[in-house]
Amino acid sequence: MLLQGERLDKVAGSNLSIIQSDQTFAYSIDAVLLGRFAYVPIQKGRILDLCSGNGIVGLVLSARTKALIDLVEVQARLHDMAERTIRVNQLEKQVTSLCFDVKDTKNNLAHSSYDTVTCNPPYFQLGGNKQVKEQRALSVARHELACTLADVVQAGSYALKYGGKLALVHRPERLADMMEEMRKCNIEPKRLRFCHPRGEANANIVLLEGTKGGKPGLVCEPPLIVYNEDEYTPAFQREYFGR
């Protein structure tokens, strides 16, 4: 089940395992927080995770819902890792990994067919003479080489049912862009939460959820602080580990 250079890691706050490799992008706090933050239908429905990587967000979501979950990843190696992770956790009846470009969503998925769409997209824009000096697998996960924020939101809007939810995690400096792209696609920002490494530090993660066709009215939820001195805060332990 494991290929050379791969390992099997535990998913925080669950009994699930995930296949990872030092040669590909390993999951971080951001992805787990997104999986805990997003609205999910409990008993039934369909969820779509875009830019799914090795499947971490889908795994976290699978522990919260009985809904069917589709993962979309453009990189064949990460898609393969996600497929094997699904088998390791015996989730074949609930979770499916698909391999295609987010920009080709309209050619691969039915319109207005999902209740929730999630995405932990590449964070870094490409601009000017900026060069990306990383392995391809890492650079595609971190930089907007294969898709942009606009591509993600457009794909999410296409796939969502009216009244469905789009949940994103990103850097706070992209928050204005997130809201702008959502509104361009008839998705109204409704829930917002900032995550701070420490109480006195600026936020370094933002979670945003919007409703397709929703009415204006944004709720800013209490900030999540990760560390209190050198230990995880009780709030973060509850959110991240389910303790």
Question: DSSP string covering 97-152, please?
Answer: EE-S-GGGHHHHS-TT-EEEEEE----BPP-TT----S-HHHHHHHBTTS--HHHH
- Indicate the CATH number for domain 6-241: 3.40.50.150
pTM: 0.92
pLDDT tens-digit readout, 74-91: 999 999 999 999 999 999
* Residues above pLDDT 90, as percent of the chain: 81
Using pLDDT thresholds of 50, 70 and 90, give the confidence band for residue 129. Answer: very low
What do you get for the CA distance between the two ends of the chain, in Å?
31
- Encoded tokens for 76: 């064949």
- What pLDDT score was predicted for residue 144? 55
- What pLDDT score was predicted for residue 106? 98
Task: Let me know: does 240 contact 12? Beta carbons within 8 Å.
Answer: yes
Task: Let me know: does 71 contact 82? Beta carbons within 8 Å.
Answer: yes
pLDDT tens-digit readout, 131-158: 554 555 555 555 556 689 999 999 999 9
